[in-house]
Structure 1
Amino acid sequence: MAMARRGERTLALPPRPPGPVVWLHAAPQTDMDAVAALAQRMAQEDVGASFMVTGDPIRVPEPLIEVNTPHDSTSAARAFLDHVRPDVVLWMQGGLLGQLLAEVDSRGIARLLADADARDLALNRSGWLARARRGGLVRDFRQALAVDEDAAARLRRLGLEDGRISVTGPLTEGAVAFPGGESQRARIAQEVGTRPIWFAPATPMVELPLLAEAHQAASRRSHRLLLAIMPRDPAEGEEMAETLHDLGLRTVRRSVEEEVPEGTEVVVADRESELGAWYRLAPMTFMGGTLTEGGGRSPYEAAALGSAVLHGPGTMPWGLAYRRLAEARAAERVSDSATLGVAVTELLAPDRAALLAHAAWSSLSSGADVTNRLMELLIDALDAAGAY
C-alpha cells in the first residue's frame, strides 16, 4: 500500500473481501441498522455485496465491515482505493471529501448519494462546499436520494441534474426475512396446539429469574400459557433448561424433544434455524436482554413478522429502532418482572396484540420504498461495473 504523505498516518485496513464491494461513507446520524438490513436483503436475493464502511457512524453492525477513514488527500485516496477496490460508492448525507471523490471519479467508479439533507449540504466542512460549487463534487453523483424537497432544491443549486434526484425520505430499517419459514411455523404450531405463546429471543442466563416470575404471574390468568425462550448463546440450552427447572417451571429443550407435552410451561428454543418460526407463531415477543444487560436482537425482527414487541429499559444498541417504534405506539416498555407479567397478561387479548403488531408493521413499511429504491440503484451500478 502506498505510503502516506508527511503528517498523514498510514491506515491499517482489513483485507478486501472477495466479490462485489460497496464503499459506504456514513454520517453520525446514518441509520446503520437500515444499512445492515439493506445488505442482508441484497444477500437474500443473490445480489449480495460486502459493505466497507468509513465515516462517523455511531456503530457498525454485522454484516457491515468498519474501515478507518482515509485522509482527504490524493496520495491517501489512491492508497485506500488501491486496497479496497470498490465497485460502487454510496455516500450518506453531505460532508463530501473532495480529493477522495476526485480519485473515485478518475477511476470511473459510480457513486450514489443517499439521505441527502439540506442542513448537512449547507455545512462548509473543510471547504468542500466551495469546491462543490466550482467542480463536480455533487454534479457527478449518478443518482441522489433526498430526504425532502429542501434537500432536492439544494442539490439542484449545487449542480446535480433534476433527473438524477429523487425525493424519498430517509433510509430507515425495513423488514428482513429470518430463518424459520411458514412450514416450520405450521409444524411447531401443530406440536404446541392451541396454547397461547409468548417468545423471548436472545435471552441471557441472568434474565431467567425475571422471565420465570413474569411467566408465573401471567399464568395465573392463563393456565395453559407457554413461554418459548431462545438462548443468547445456543450452547447454553442445556444449562438454561436446568435453571428453569430449578426455578419451578416444567421445561423441555427443543433440540432434544420434538414434542411439547401438555403440561409444559417453557420451551427452550435452542435451534437458531427456528427463529423466524417462533416470531411468526408468538403473538407477542419480549426482546431478551432488555431487562438486564441490553444487546440482544433488533425489535424490527419481531415487528416484521407480526409479533407485538415488549422490551425493558436496556435498548442499546438498538435505541433508534426502539424510539421509532415508540413514536408509532408500536411497542410496549416494561421496567421489571412484575410489569412484564402484567403486559403479557394484557396482550393475551388478541385485539391488543394485533393493534401493537399492526402499528409496528406500518412503521416498518414506511421505510420499505426507500430501501427498495436504493437496492435497485446499487444493483444497477454493480451490474454496470461488471461486479456480477
Structure 2
Amino acid sequence: MAAPFLYRAWVAASMLLVPFFARTETRKLRRAGVSVSRAHEKLGHATQPRQQNGPLIWFHAASVGESLSVLALITRMGRALPDAQFLITSGTATSAKLVQDRLPPRTVHQFAPLDAPGPLKRFLKHWRPDAAIFVESELWPQMLRRTYESGAKLALLNARLSQKSMESWRKRPAFARYVLEVFELILTQNDKMAEAMVAMHAPPQRVARGINLKSMSDPLPVDQDALFEARAALGHRPVWVASSTHPGEEDVVLEAHKRLLATRPDLHLILAPRHPERGQEVMNLISDAGLGVTRRSLGDAPGDQVYLADTMGELGTWYAFTDIVFLGGSLHPIGGHNSFEVAQSGATVLSGHHVTNFAETFQEMQDLGAAQLISDASDLAEKVDALLSDDDARRQACDAARAFAEGQTGQLDSIAERLINVLELAG
C-alpha cells in the first residue's frame, strides 16, 4: 500500500521538528535525574548491547501503568521462550525507575525513540526486533511503519483510545488503514473497543477482544522492613488506606476520616496521593482539616491520625497493612485505577463511580462482593465503618478479592501463547 499524503506530511514535519523535540525531551529527562547518555536514547542511541542469540521481542508502553502492566506478560513469554531476549521502552523517567527495579530475566529497558526518521533508524538498526508489541494507545505512525518494514511482526495489546482520538482516526481512513494494517493482531480491552478499532479501519479479521492487561500485573512489592516498622508504630490500631488520590479527592477522604474518628478515635488513615510531588499540597489539606499527620517523605513513622505516604513504589507495602482500600481516580471522570493490585494484596476495594478504564474488572469484583462503589464522603465513611464493624463481612470481602485475583492469572498464559503463535516466535 502506497504511503498516503498525510503520512508523508507527518514524516516531513518530524524531520523539521526533531531538533526542538529532542531538546525538550532530553531536558525533561535530565531534570528528572536521568544521565546524559540515557537521555540520548530518545534519539535512538542505545546504551545496552543487543544480545546476538535468540529472537528479540520489543514491548513499547507509554508511561508507568502501561509499562508495569507488561512485566508479568514478559515473564510468562520468557518461560515459554527460553532463548528470547526482551526490550521494553517507555517515555518517562518515573516509568524507567519503576520498571528497572522489576525487570524480568533477559529484559532491558530503554527510553523510546522520537517518532522521526533519524532516531528510529538508529534504534532499529541497533535492536533489530523480531517482534514488536505496542500497548494501549501508542500509535506513532513512523514507529509502526518503520518497524513493520524492518521485517518485524507487530501486535497491539490492550488497545484503548479516547473518544477524541477515535474520531480523529475515523476521519482519515487512508492514513488509518496504512498505519493499522501493520498489526498481525489487535487485542482490545473490551467488545466496545474492538468495534471501535474496526470502525477506525483496522483489519477486522485481526481484531479481537482480549483482557485489560493492567488487571493481570504481578503483585506489588512489599518492603517487609517498612511493614514491620509501621506495625510496631501503630500496634493494634485499625487502619484503612486511601491510594492514588487526585486533586479534589483528598478532601472527600479526609472528611470521611473525620466522621469515622468521631466514633473510632484510634482509627488510622494512610493517604497515598497518585503523584507524590503533590506531597506538600496534600499535607496542607490535612492540616487545614484539623487532623494530626506524619509524613513518609520526611522519614516519619505512621502515627497520629493520618500518615501521608508521599513516596513512589510503596503501595504494595501499605496494601499489605490493611483490609480496606479506597482507590482514587474515581470520584471525578479520570477513569479509575488498578483494583487488581489491591485484590492481590487481599484487601477489599472501595471506589467512586468513574472507573471506565477498569469497568469490566470492577463489575466482576462487585459481583463477587470484592468491591463497592461510593458516592461521597458520607457514603465512604458509612461503608468503611460497616466493614470495620463486621469482622465476618470484612473477611468475606477480602476472601472474594483474593479469589478474584487468583482467577485472573491463567488468562495471562493464554495471551502469551496467542502472541507467540501469531508473531511466529515459537521457532
Map of 1:324 onto structure 2:
364
% identical aligned pairs? 22
Shift of 1:114: 6.6
Return the alpha-carbon distance in structure 2 between the equivalents of residues 345 and 194 of structure 1: 17
CA shift, 1:300, in A, is: 1.5
- Tell me, which stretches of 5 or more residues in structure 2 are unaligned? 15-41, 51-55, 75-101, 113-133, 159-175
Aligned counterpart, 1:222:
264
Q: Show the counterpart of 1:38.
A: 70
Contact 1:180–1:273 (8 Å) recurs in 2:
no
In structure 2, distance between residues paired with 1:354 and 1:368: 22
Task: Quickly say closer, same or farther: Cα 1:90–1:197, change in 2 above 3 A.
Answer: same
Residue 357 (1) aligns with residue 398 (2):
yes
* 2:231 is aligned with 1:189: yes
Q: Is the 8 A contact 1:254 1:270 kept in 2?
A: yes
In 2, the alpha carbon distance for the partners of 1:302 and 1:358 equals: 12
Partner of 1:55: none
- Identify if the C-alpha distance between structure 1 residues 273 and 180 changes in structure 2 by more than 3 Å, giving closer, same or farther: farther
Matching residue's letter, 1:317: N
Are the structure 2 counterparts of residues 382 and 81 from structure 1 closer, same or farther at C-alpha, using a change threshold of 3 Å? closer
Amino acid at match of 2:300: E
Structure 1 residue 256 corresponds to structure 2 residue 316: no
Q: 1:361 to 1:251 in 2, by over 3 A?
A: same
C-alpha contact 2:136 2:157 (8 A) present in aligned 1: no
Unaligned residue ranges in structure 1 (runs of 5+): 25-32, 53-61, 71-75, 105-110, 133-137, 139-145, 148-168
Change (3 A) 1:69 1:250: same
Residues 238 and 328 (structure 1 numbering): CA distance in 2 closer, same or farther, change over 3 Å? same
Tell me the residue number matched to 2:3: 4
| Structure 1 Cα separation of the partners of residues 182 and 335 of structure 2 | 39
Aligned counterpart, 1:30: none
Are 1:22 and 1:86, in contact at CA under 8 Å, matched by a contact in 2? no
Q: CA deviation at 1:197?
A: 0.7
Give the Å deviation of 1:344. 0.6
Cα distance in 2 between the residues matched to 1:246 and 1:128 = 55
Matched, 1:369 2:401: no
Q: Return the match for 2:139 from 67, 77, 93.
A: 67
1:89 aligns with 2:154: yes
How many angstroms does 1:254 deviate by?
1.4
Whether contact under 8 Å (1:202, 1:296) holds in the other structure is: no
Amino acid in structure 1 at the alignment position of 2:230:
I
For normalisation by structure 2, the TM-score amounts to 0.58
Query: Any conservation in 2 of the 1:219–1:225 contact (CA below 8 Å)?
Result: yes
| Contact 1:36/1:64 (<8 A) preserved | no
Q: CA deviation at 1:338?
A: 0.4
In the alignment, the residues of structure 2 paired with residue 268 and residue 126 of structure 1 have an alpha-carbon distance, to the nearest angstrom, of 47
Deviation at 1:345, TM superposition (A): 0.5
The C-alpha deviation readout for 1:126-158, integer Å capped at 9, x for no partner, is 8978xx8xxxxx9xxxxxxx98xxxxxxxxxxx
Partner of 2:20: none
Residue by residue over 1:241-285, the C-alpha shift from the partner in whole angstroms, topping out at 9 and shown as x without a partner, is 232122111111112243334xx1100011223211001111110
Inter-CA distance 177–87: structure 2 relative to 1 (3 Å threshold): farther
CA distance in 1, matches of 2:227, 2:370: 23
Name the residue aligned to 2:39.
none
Q: CA deviation at 1:180?
A: 3.1
Contact 1:39 1:48 in 2 (8 A): no
**Which residue pairs with 2:340 in the alignment?**
300
| Maintained 8 Å contact 1:283/1:353 | yes
Alignment of 1:262-341 (within 5 A): 264-295=304-335, 297-341=337-381
* Aligned ranges 1:375-386 → 2 under 5 Å: 375=416
Q: How does 1:18-167 map to 2 (within 5 A)?
A: 20-22=56-58, 37-39=69-71, 41-42=73-74, 44-48=103-107, 66-68=138-140, 79=146, 81-82=148-149, 85=150, 87-90=152-155
Match of 2:23 in 1: none
Q: Does structure 2 conserve the Cα–Cα contact (< 8 Å) formed by 1:21 and 1:86?
A: no
Decide whether aligned partners of structure 1 residues 78 and 286 sit closer, same or farther in structure 2, where only a CA change above 3 A counts.
Answer: closer
Deviation for aligned residue 1:312? 1.2
Counterpart-to-counterpart distance in 1, 2:211 and 2:279: 40
Post-superposition offset of 1:102: 10
Candidates 276, 299, 302, aligned match of 1:234? 276
Aligned-pair CA distance for 1:214: 0.8
Do the aligned residues in 2 keep the contact of 1:178 with 1:275 (CA within 8 Å)?
Answer: yes
What SS class does the counterpart of residue 329 from structure 2 fall into? Answer: coil
When structure 1 is superposed on structure 2, of 313-322 and 239-248 the one drifting more is: 313-322
- 2:153 touches 2:423 (CA, 8 Å); kept in 1? yes
Equivalents in 2 of 1:68, 1:4: separation in Å? 15
Q: Classify 1:176/1:11 alpha carbon distance in 2 versus 1 (closer, same or farther; 3 Å).
A: farther
- Larger radius of gyration between Structure 1 and Structure 2: 1
After superposition, the C-alpha distances for 1:146-184 in whole angstroms (9 at most, x for unaligned) are: 98xxxxxxxxxxxxxxxxxxxxx9676324222434443
Residues of 1 paired with 2:5 and 2:329: CA distance?
Answer: 48
Deviation at 1:333, TM superposition (A): 0.9
**Aligned equivalents of 2:145 and 2:345: distance in 1?**
44
Which structure carries more helix by proportion? Answer: 2
Kept in 1: contact 2:340–2:405 (CA 8 A) = yes
